[in-house]
Amino acid sequence: MNADLFAALPATAGFELFEERLRQSGCCLPAGVDEAGRGPLAGPVVAAAVILPPRYDLAGLADSKKLSARRREQLFGSIRQQAVAVGVGFCSAAEIDRHNILQASLLAMRQAVMRLHPAADALLVDGLQTLALPLPQQALVKGDARCASVAAASIIAKVVRDRIMQVFDRRYPGYGFARHKGYGSAEHRRRIAELGPCPLHRASFRGVREYL
C-alpha cells in the first residue's frame, strides 16, 4: 500500500470523498472492491470491483444489505450502465473448503480487480485486509456503508450471487436455494439434515460437515 497516498483520508471521510481525494492525488481510476457470500453454508463467494465515473446518477446507492432485492436489481442495472468498469470474481464451495473462506474471499476479490477493463490504478477494499496486488490500496472497515464505489461493488456482488443461487435451485431442488441463497436458515438446516449435503455445500462449515 502507498501510505502517503492515503494519509490525507480521514477515517470518517464522506460517502464519495475517498474517490475524490484519490483523483486529486493523481489516481484517475480508483475501484471499490467487495464480496458477497462469506457466511452461507452453500454456494460460491462472489466479489466485484467497480470503477465509478466522477459524476453519476445512482440515487439510493448504499450497502447492499440495507436495500430490498428489488432496489438492488434496479441499482445493478444502473451501475452496469454508468460504471467505467465492472469486474466479477468467484470462488466455489470446493475452493472455499480448500483455502478457507477468508483466503477464498481475497482470491475472488483479486480476480474481480484483474477483470476490470480499463484497469484500476488504486483500490478501496471492504474489510480489514488489502489485496496481494501491486496497486496502492486501502482497507475500509464497513466500506460498503462509507464509500460509493465499494457500495456499488457490494450490490454487483450480491445480485450476481443471488442469481447464481437461483440457477442452482433448479439444479439441486429440495434445498430452497432460491429463497435463502445458501444461508443457514432453519429451513436450509432442516433440508441438509433430511437430504444430506450436495456438491454446493461447504464441507468445512459447521452445519454441513456434521452430515458428511
- Report the binding-site residues: 34-35, 126
Binding-site residue ranges for a divalent metal cation = 34-35, 126
> Nearest-5° angle of CA 97, CA 102, CA 104?
55
Question: 142, 162, 128, 154: which is closest to 31 by C-alpha?
Answer: 154
Question: 77, 72, 59, 83: which is closest to 181 by C-alpha?
Answer: 72
Backbone torsions φ then ψ of 173, nearest 5 degrees: -65, 155
Question: 101, 99, 122: which is closest to 49 by C-alpha?
Answer: 122
Q: How far is 127 from 114, CA to CA, in rounded Å? A: 19
CA atoms 199, 204, 209, 212: torsion sign: positive
Contact 59, 193 (CB under 8 A): no
Bond before 118 cis per omega within 30 degrees:
yes
